[in-house]
């Protein structure tokens, strides 16, 4: 129910819709361009081709991290701004339920959009290149998209929500969230720097790392969520 309420609220804000839709479409376009460029490279430039493919894949892993920021930042600060947080916290809802509901409300649209624009990317690539480029439906790519991306999205959302619950101003929350997401983006940058195709080993390693973070961060998020401070110190 909290998830539905969040969507009803957030997706009535045009700016949110714009910022949530703009980036995926832009990056899907870039990814298509990169794959197109990679296909045009000669056989001897295999390393450069792999790097371009990896960068294209990286875009689809960045998306689930950055799309939910807008929604997640709004989740706590927006409530406080509207004065709705106090009546909400006065209900019997537990802290973890509140966090889970708000996290899912941000993660699910991000994943849905990422997978949707990946579909668009596949379609565009198929049309432009007259067939799907090799490797984009390989196991490392699919695992990255359907296993690693949700883990990264959850991590990004939880970090953003921690920042959001500790900040009283949405602009500050946006800025701090950007900084807080850097650790989550570092492994992704490694993808684009590689001269060889993304391997199962790399995906597994990163997946294990993010999974470990996803287990610890929710605990931290609930521990750091202090109803009292939010109600009494935020003006």
Shortest Cβ 37–another protein spacing (Å):
43
Over the window 155 to 194, marking each residue x when it contacts another protein by CB under 8 A and - when it does not, the resulting string is ----------------------------------------
Distances (CA, A) of 95 to 131, 152, 163, 173, 207: 49, 22, 16, 20, 27
Q: Residue 12 corresponds to which tokens in the numbers above? A: 């009535």
Instruction: Return the number of the residue (194 or 227) whose C-beta is nearest another protein.
Output: 227
Q: Does 195 bind another protein (CB under 8 A)?
A: no
Candidates 43, 44, 130, 228: give the one binding another protein (CB under 8 A): 228
CA distance linking residue 97 with residue 94, whole number of Å: 5
| Tokens standing for residue 82 | 């509207």
Closer to another protein at the Cβ: 6 or 206? 6
Site residues for another protein, window 92-131 (CB under 8 A)?
92-94
- Applying the rule CB under 8 A, the residues between 7 and 36 that interact with another protein are 8-9, 12-13
Spatial contact of 180 and 163, defined as CB atoms under 8 Å apart: yes
**Under 8 Å between Cβ of 173 and 194:** no
At closest approach, how far in Å is the CB of 90 from another protein? 4
x/- map, 45-84, another protein, by CB under 8 A: -------------------------------------xxx
Considering only the stretches 36-44, 90-98, 196-204, 217-225, report the one whose residues sit in contact with another protein under the rule CB under 8 A.
90-98
Query: 3-class DSSP state for residue 1?
Result: coil
CA–CA separation, 180 and 66 (whole Å)? 11
Q: Give me the least distance between CB of 122 and another protein, in Å please.
A: 35
Q: Looking at 3, 89, 100, 128, which residue binds another protein (CB under 8 A)?
A: 89
**48 is written with which tokens?**
């450069």
Measured distance between the N- and C-terminal CA atoms of the chain, rounded to whole angstroms: 28
Long-range contacts of 134-137 (CB under 8 A, 24+ apart): 135/53, 135/197, 136/35, 136/53, 136/56, 136/57
Interface residues with another protein (CB under 8 A) are 1-2, 5, 8-9, 12-13, 82-94, 227-228, 231-232
């Amino acid at each position: 129910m909290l998830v539905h309420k969040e969507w009803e609220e957030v997706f009535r804000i045009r700016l949110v819709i714009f910022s949530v839709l703009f980036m995926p479409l832009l990056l899907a376009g870039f990814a298509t361009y990169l794959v197109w460029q990679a296909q045009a490279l000669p056989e001897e430039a295999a390393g450069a081709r792999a790097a371009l493919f990896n960068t294209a894949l990286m875009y689809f892993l960045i998306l689930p991290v950055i799309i939910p920021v807008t929604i997640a930042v709004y989740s706590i600060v927006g409530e406080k701004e509207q004065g709705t947080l106090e009546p909400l916290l006065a209900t019997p809802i537990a802290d973890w339920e509140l966090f889970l509901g708000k996290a899912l409300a941000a993660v699910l649209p991000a994943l849905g959009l990422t997978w949707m624009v990946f579909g668009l990317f596949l379609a565009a690539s198929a049309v432009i290149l007259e067939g799907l480029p090799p490797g984009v439906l390989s196991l490392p790519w699919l695992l990255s998209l359907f296993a690693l991306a949700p883990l990264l999205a959850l991590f990004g959302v939880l970090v953003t929500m921690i920042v959001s619950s500790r900040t009283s101003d949405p602009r500050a929350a946006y800025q701090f969230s950007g900084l807080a997401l850097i650790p989550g983006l570092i492994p992704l940058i490694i993808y684009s720097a590689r001269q060889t195709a993304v391997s199962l080993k790399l995906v597994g390693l990163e997946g294990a790392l993010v999974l470990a973070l996803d287990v610890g961060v929710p605990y931290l998020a609930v521990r750091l969520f202090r109803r009292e401070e939010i109600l009494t110190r935020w003006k």
